[in-house]
Structure 1
Amino acid sequence: MPNTGPEPVDPDSPLEVAVGLVLDATGRVLVSRRLAGRHLAGFWEFPGGKIDSGESAFAGLARELHEELGILVHAGVQCLTVRHDFSECSVALRVFRVTDWSGEVHGREGQEWAWRDPGTLDPTDFPAANHPMFQALVLPHRYLITPEPTSAAEIPTVVEQVQTALARLTSPMLQVRAPSLGRADYRALIEPLYGFAHARGIPLLANAPWAWVDDLPGVGWHLPERRWRECSARPVVSGPVAASVHDAEGLSMATRLGLDFAVLSPVRATASHRGVPGMGWEAFAEQVREAGIPVYALGGMQEGDLERARALGAQGIAAIRGLLG
């Protein structure tokens, strides 16, 4: 957590803090260590600080990063709002993905700082509120969902299509979804995809009863609404856990459960859900800014929508046909 004092605040009015995820040209993220004598002294953090009264979150971020580290922040997009209750205070961390900055980093307050590979960060070195920020740094931008085989005979064709797409896409992630298949046929679908993805370091999430896949090391679990509504805590699985949601209530519930990310839909109306209107990009962006975990856009997405979704704060896009090619 960035520079905040220990003074108590009304839990109904949490301390507003701006946080920056600043990357260098090689993809390393900027971190600094909290000074002795301050709240959470000794922990590493993503830089930022308190937002002044009447100041926008972005203006507060730019001011704090210049005051603390000497850099000029020119552009950024808010991608998370992490709310956390410490023993001393409650905070709302307005997290920005910094997209344009300049200057030479130096600890203007004498603090230690470093550029780190996001994948090697140790969460125990950071305050507890930082978990969603780690996910925002490491999750892929493209979440491919398998098309559903119309019969068991079509499973090999679907497997080939998906493997071809995974080989083409840059840093993808995969959800294996086939709600009409029984256990045996679902295993015939997921096993070759799991082997292909595992060998290439591609995250894979199963959208099926957990008992069907609990013997696959590292597999994640994607929860449709009917499943996450039955949960009282994050399911204990070896891979990432995600949820399909359709509104702010769903995003809030996925955050409270401690899930790793959510897929919010539909952004646009789709042929597969006739009569369901899309929420549109403006409503999508409003919900992403307040979400406590990374969010993917789903519903009529194409590869060409990735840049727009990211510019609105999304982690990326999720799609079947739009990413399958």
Structure 2
Amino acid sequence: MGAAGAAPDRGRQGRPGRPARHRRAGLFTPGTLHRLLRRPVLRGRRTRLQGAEGRARRIGRGAVRERADLRDLEPAAPDARIHGREPRGPAPARRRDPSGRARRGEDLAVRALRPVGLVLSVSPGRVPGHRRALAGQLRLRARRDRRGARRRAALRARTRFALRPGRLAVRPGLGRPARPLGARRWRGHAAEVSGARAPIDVAVGVLVRADGAVLFGQRLAGKPYAGWWEFPGGKLEAGETVTQALARELHEELGIAIDGSSRWVVREHVYPHAHVRLHFHRIESWRHEVRPREGQALRWLRPDAIDAAPLLPAAIQVVGWLRLAPLHAISSASELGGARFLDALDARLAAGLRMLQLREPGMPEQRFDALFRAVRDRCERHGARLMVNSVHPASYWLAAGGVHLRAVDLMRCESRPPLRWVGASCHDEAELAHACAIGADYALLGPVLPTASHPGAEGIGWQRFEQIAAPASIPVYALGGLGPADATRARRAGAHGVAFKRAIEIDHE
């Protein structure tokens, strides 16, 4: 038996007032634990907490019937300061960390034998990795006595911690309800607005010059977001249609008379001062010269060189869609043959084709791999965007930087694939709504007209296409039985452009 005095604990720090008789000589050296004590077992008295506080505290051994070898003083949890609204920062370099908590060490005595400070370091609805073994031990069995229910109720009242199944105390969220697992806010879109006021309808004009440049205006002083850049337009007045409001606003702001506009996308956005529903229309023809009638600054910018800053938040994603090509070509190498297809592709890329979907479902894997590499090299050389259909392995999506989802794959997606560009094939309102919900960049909708690949099948027609595409919050291409000559008709129906499989074959023939 050693001399009386302060006994060193496992952290190798002296503990004044600890009787020497509690030390067990010969079993293990100071600072270590016998292997039999390294058991993740907590013997406790039902659900009594050891105190819900973020500072070091003294814990009675009677509550958990611990051996006297273990230390009485429980240090604060590593992230307790966060819940106390204290700044989190690195510990001073001069201080030691005997327990290993700050660096998530493997100190079994702390991690396995001291599961007492759990609730305060558990974030809302979650258990951190370094607390999982500890949390598992707190799923204690209730003793069947008449005081159990009353004690649990008193525990909740005192600590305000909810008891989940298994009687695990979990810290609730602060001031807001928890979202379901997997729920996702759509970037730039007001998908979740509870109790918000009704949106204000705004007509927005995207003026496109013959050279492809788009008009931006700077907001005047005295308005919210003064000095920020936006597309011209304004609020709808009572009884106005979007087209009527757009014609009035553009005459008042720019002094022009528009000959017509085509619906493009409808977006909602919540600003601190307003919830707006933005009806974007494209305008390619107008009378009179554009001039700033209200004294605002104006700039014509090409879609690939938009440097106006800052842009209104609701306009940022729309600017990206301006770079989508009006023609979406779909490959046909299986029908043409690999060499003939690549020759035709070279001609189309040289003529200005800037978007291609590689879709060859029946092609052998080795042959498709060679085709993909050849097509990708050509697209990169000409600055064209390459999308790989989801019928092919995901490794090709990643290599191309974009995927076009088949309708069946689209409906299986709960969130947007983590790629720069994502498209989807749709045939009805439900599929198009899901493409919008996951945040796809565009959709193909059809077939509009009968196609050679589906003989005897009728298309949905232009009227039905316009009806389905009208509320879409992403650009929609018209697909099925179409060609370049149908581009104007497609835009009148609200399409961004046309997509067709024979786009590569036309010039080659």
Could you tell me which residue of structure 1 aligns to residue 395 of structure 2?
211
| Paired positions, count | 312
Contact kept? 1:163, 1:193, Cα under 8 Å: no
Q: C-alpha separation between the residues in 2 aligned to 1:107 and 1:262?
A: 36
**Is 2:287 the partner of 1:105?**
no
Distance 1:213 1:234, change over 3 A: closer
1:158 aligns with 2:306: no
**1:198 corresponds to which of 368, 380, 385:** 380
Shift of residue 92, structure 1, vs aligned partner: 1.7
Structure whose alpha-carbon radius of gyration is higher: 2
- 1:100-179 mapped onto 2 (5 Å cutoff): 100-122=285-307, 125-149=310-334, 154-168=337-351, 170-179=352-361
1:61 is the counterpart of 2:242 = no
2:467 is aligned with 1:282: no
Letter in 1 for 2:415: A
Cα offsets for 1:239-265 (capped at 9, x unmatched): x22111112222222222222111111
Q: Relative to structure 1, is the Cα distance of residues 10 and 66 closer, same or farther in structure 2, using a 3 angstrom cutoff?
A: farther
3-state SS, counterpart of residue 282 of structure 2: strand
Structure 2, unmatched stretches of 5+, are 1-192
Task: Name the residue aligned to 2:435.
Answer: 254
The whole-number CA distance in structure 2 between the counterparts of 1:241 and 1:316 is: 17
Pairwise CA RMSD of aligned residues? 2.6
SS at match of 1:215: helix
1:50 is displaced (CA, Å) by 0.2
Change (3 A) 1:156 1:104: closer
Greater mean alpha carbon deviation, residues 305-314 or residues 85-94: 85-94
C-alpha contact (below 8 Å) 1:300/1:322 kept by paired residues: no
Partner of 1:270: 451
User: Alignment partner of 1:32: what SS?
Assistant: strand
What's the secondary structure of 2:259's corresponding residue? Answer: strand
Which one-letter code corresponds to 1:290 in the other structure?
Answer: P
CA distance in structure 1 between the aligned counterparts of 2:195 and 2:257, rounded to whole angstroms = 32
The 8 Å contact of residues 28 and 117 in structure 1, kept in 2 or not, is answered as yes
Counterparts of 2:278 and 2:434, CA distance in 1: 18
Which amino acid letter does the alignment assign opposite residue 287 of structure 1? I
Residue aligning to 2:416 = 234
CA distance in 1, matches of 2:260, 2:335: 46
User: Which 4+ runs in 1 deviate beyond 4 A?
Assistant: 8-12
> Which segment is superposed worse, 42-51 or 130-139?
130-139
Structure with more contact order per residue of length (Cα contacts < 8 Å, sep ≥ 6): 1
Q: 2:496 aligns with which of 315, 318, 321?
A: 315
- 1:71-91 Cα distance to aligned partner (Å, 9 max, x none): 222221112112223343322
Q: C-alpha distance in 1, partners of 2:343/2:301?
A: 37
**Residue 98 of structure 1, CA deviation:** 0.9
What residue number does 1:187 align with? 369
Paired amino acid for 2:350? A
- Same amino acid, percent of matched pairs: 36
Task: Report the residue type matching 1:80 in the other structure.
Answer: V
- Cα distance in 1 for partners of 2:256, 2:249 equals 9
| Letter in structure 1 aligned against 2:494 | G
SS of 1:79's equivalent in the other structure is: strand
Corresponding position of 1:4? none
- With normalisation by structure 2, the TM-score equals 0.57
Which of the two has greater strand per residue?
1
Q: Return the alpha-carbon distance in structure 1 between the equivalents of residues 418 and 265 of structure 2.
A: 24
User: What CA distance in whole angstroms lies between the structure 1 residues aligned with 2:224 and 2:468?
Assistant: 30
1:20-44, CA deviations, whole angstroms, 9 ceiling, x for partnerless residues? 0112343321111122332333321
CA distance in 1, matches of 2:246, 2:462: 25
Which SS does the other structure have where 2:399 is aligned?
Answer: coil
Q: Distance in 2 between matches of 1:186 and 1:12?
A: 52
- For normalisation by structure 1, the TM-score amounts to 0.86
* Cα distance in 2 between the residues matched to 1:220 and 1:78: 26
User: Is the Cα contact below 8 Å between 2:345 and 2:504 reproduced in 1?
Assistant: no
Corresponding residue for residue 5 of structure 1: none
Task: Give the direction of change, closer, same or farther, for the CA distance of 1:43–1:183 in structure 2 (3 Å limit).
Answer: farther
Query: Cα deviation per residue 1:77-118 (whole Å; 9 max; x = unaligned)?
Result: 112112223343322211111122123333333322211122
Deviation at 1:136? Answer: 4.3
Superposed CA deviations along residues 192-233 of structure 1, whole A, max 9, x for unmatched, are: 1111111011111111332234234xx321111222223333
